[in-house]
């Protein structure tokens, strides 16, 4: 009997020991699985926290695009975090849209529309910005001997390049009649009262060939006022603030005027502007002839002799107006104009694909095509 009790005690002790060992294994497994699950969760929390910090506070390069000024405008700049970048983005685009509403001929409340509607009737007081750009437009018109003319609006309207109606080739008599309204020398400006007056009924300002560049310059000024040191604005006219964030020059590609997918050269630039005028945008073909929107104010017809002109300058406004003037003047006179202006350089491409470069770019431009 004692032997039986001893066996029962041994069995009981063995069972209790087995239970205790099994319980410890279960507890250990529970702790192990908790650790296994907790570690990835902690890693994810840390990762999302880092990404959130990177998004809101880290210095990054941000790029935004918006449709305005009848084109896609791209801005690129470096800022400390997404929130700061979005605030700066909104300030820049607000400034662009504010100025567009002053200069656009498609905005009924713009200063330019008011001036044109009052042609032959009365002077119109305009904003300081519109007065300044009009003054500069007249200065460059004089400098280019009328190759750039801010009173070309009636002529472009006749061709239909900037209206909803289809573009067409006007009759010679229509062009001759309209040319009587195109003459920058007739524009009267009053600096004291900040007024502009077009003395003939039917005259009209078209500041698109200079105002877009001015607006890009003001966008860069907005970046500067926000403490941004590196920025890129592309509205067709390209304005550059400083260098790229890595300290290297911005690299601007020059397109082949006969194949927009092809880059013919690279311009390394910093704190500068670049604009191209070409016969391939806002153009139509009639009876095998290409008609484009860069009109010669003297003849009323599209300017011939060049396929494209690219101008670099200190300001986008200057690059904008000079590319138009040089295109109208043609390869020889256009080259001479750019060569005589300090800070301006140019690349001229003829319809035969002959490329001419101003002297100041010869050691800077990176040509990607063979020159004869």
**For position 325, what pLDDT does the model report?**
98
Answer yes or no: is 62 within a domain. Answer: no
Interacting residues of 211 by C-beta distance below 8 A, sequence separation 6+: 99, 103, 133
pLDDT, tens digit (0-9, with 9 covering 90-100), for 315-369: 999 999 999 999 999 999 999 999 999 999 999 999 999 999 999 999 999 999 8
Whether residue 44 is found in the same domain as residue 150: no
Distance between terminal CA atoms of the chain? Answer: 120
Whether residue 213 is found in the same domain as residue 259: yes
Identify the H or E element spanning 352. none
Mean pLDDT of 250-273: 95
pLDDT, tens digit (0-9, with 9 covering 90-100), for 118-153: 999 999 999 999 999 999 999 999 999 999 999 999
Identify the H or E element spanning 68. strand 59-68
Interacting residues of 92 by C-beta distance below 8 A, sequence separation 6+: 75, 219, 222, 223, 233
**For position 56, what pLDDT does the model report?**
52
**For position 24, what pLDDT does the model report?**
58
Whether residue 78 is found in the same domain as residue 147: yes
Q: How far apart are CA 308 and CA 291, in angstroms?
A: 14
Whether residue 118 is found in the same domain as residue 222: yes
Answer yes or no: is 64 within a domain. Answer: no
Q: How far apart are CA 195 and CA 126, in angstroms?
A: 6
> Is the pLDDT reported for residue 161 higher than 60?
yes
- Band the pLDDT of 236: cuts 50, 70, 90: very high
Answer yes or no: is 198 within a domain. Answer: yes
Whether residue 146 is found in the same domain as residue 222: yes
User: Residue 298 belongs to a domain with what CATH number?
Assistant: 3.10.520.10
**How many domains, the chain?**
2
Place of tokens 């006219």: 237
> Is the pLDDT reported for residue 220 higher than 80?
yes
Whether residue 210 is found in the same domain as residue 278: yes
Interacting residues of 244 by C-beta distance below 8 A, sequence separation 6+: 230, 250
Answer yes or no: is 170 within a domain. Answer: yes
> Is the pLDDT reported for residue 259 higher than 80?
yes
In 3-state terms the chain splits into helix, strand, coil percentages (rounded to 5) of 45, 25, 35
- Band the pLDDT of 27: cuts 50, 70, 90: low
Whether residue 361 is found in the same domain as residue 232: yes
Whether residue 278 is found in the same domain as residue 138: yes
Query: Which of 57, 80, 102 finishes a domain?
Result: 57
**For position 269, what pLDDT does the model report?**
97
**For position 281, what pLDDT does the model report?**
84
Q: Which domain holds residue 331?
A: 70-367
- Band the pLDDT of 9: cuts 50, 70, 90: very low
**For position 369, what pLDDT does the model report?**
86
- Band the pLDDT of 260: cuts 50, 70, 90: confident
**For position 231, what pLDDT does the model report?**
97
Whether residue 139 is found in the same domain as residue 116: yes
> Is the pLDDT reported for residue 295 higher than 90?
yes
Whether residue 26 is found in the same domain as residue 5: yes
Total-model pTM: 0.84
**For position 123, what pLDDT does the model report?**
98
Q: How far apart are CA 113 and CA 103, in angstroms?
A: 8
Answer yes or no: is 248 within a domain. Answer: yes
Query: Which of 57, 84, 103 finishes a domain?
Result: 57
Whether residue 130 is found in the same domain as residue 53: no
Closest CA to 142 of 202, 186, 193: 186
Higher pLDDT, 288 or 39: 288
Percent residues over pLDDT 90 in the chain: 79
**For position 15, what pLDDT does the model report?**
45
Token pair for 135:
């003054």
Q: Are 58 and 81 in contact (CB under 8 A)?
A: yes
**For position 290, what pLDDT does the model report?**
92
Answer yes or no: is 276 within a domain. Answer: yes
Whether residue 11 is found in the same domain as residue 152: no
> Is the pLDDT reported for residue 53 higher than 70?
no
Mean pLDDT of 165-191: 95
**For position 2, what pLDDT does the model report?**
44
Cα–Cα–Cα angle for 26, 29, 33, rounded to 5 degrees: 140
> Is the pLDDT reported for residue 312 higher than 70?
yes
Average pLDDT, whole number, for the chain? Answer: 89
Higher pLDDT, 11 or 365: 365
Answer yes or no: is 196 within a domain. Answer: yes
């Amino acid at each position: 009997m004692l032997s039986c009790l001893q066996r029962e005690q041994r069995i009981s002790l063995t069972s209790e020991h087995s239970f205790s060992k099994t319980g410890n294994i279960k507890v250990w497994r529970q702790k192990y699985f908790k650790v296994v699950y907790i570690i990835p969760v902690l890693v994810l929390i840390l990762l999302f926290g880092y990404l959130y910090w990177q998004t809101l506070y880290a210095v990054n390069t941000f790029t935004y695009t918006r449709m305005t000024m009848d084109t896609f405008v791209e801005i690129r700049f470096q800022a400390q975090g997404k929130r700061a970048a979005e605030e700066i983005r909104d300030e820049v685009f607000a400034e662009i849209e504010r100025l567009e509403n002053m200069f656009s001929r498609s905005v009924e409340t713009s200063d330019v529309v008011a001036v044109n509607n009052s042609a032959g009737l009365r002077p119109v007081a305009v904003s300081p910005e519109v007065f300044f750009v009009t003054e500069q437009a007249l200065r460059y018109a004089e400098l280019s001997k009328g190759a750039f003319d801010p009173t070309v609006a009636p002529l472009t309207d006749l061709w239909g390049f900037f209206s909803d109606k289809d573009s067409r080739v006007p009759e010679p008599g229509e062009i001759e009649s309209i040319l009587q309204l195109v003459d920058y020398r007739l524009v009267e400006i009053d600096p004291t009262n900040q007024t502009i007056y077009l003395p003939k009924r039917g005259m009209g300002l078209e500041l698109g060939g200079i105002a877009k560049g001015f607006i890009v310059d003001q966008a860069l000024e907005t970046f500067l006022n926000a403490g941004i040191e590196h920025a890129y604005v592309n509205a067709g006219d390209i304005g550059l603030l400083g260098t790229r964030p890595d300290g290297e020059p911005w690299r601007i590609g020059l397109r082949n005027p006969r194949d927009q997918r092809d880059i013919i050269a690279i311009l390394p630039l910093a704190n500068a502007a670049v604009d191209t005028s070409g016969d391939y945008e806002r153009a139509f073909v009639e009876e095998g002839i290409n008609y484009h929107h860069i009109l010669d104010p003297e003849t009323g017809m599209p300017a011939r002799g060049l396929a494209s002109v690219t101008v670099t300058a200190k300001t986008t406004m200057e690059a904008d107006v000079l590319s138009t003037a040089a295109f109208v003047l043609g390869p020889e006179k256009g080259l001479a104009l750019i060569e005589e202006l300090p800070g301006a350089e140019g690349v001229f491409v003829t319809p035969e694909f002959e490329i001419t470069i101003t002297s100041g770019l010869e050691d800077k431009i990176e040509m990607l095509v063979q020159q004869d």
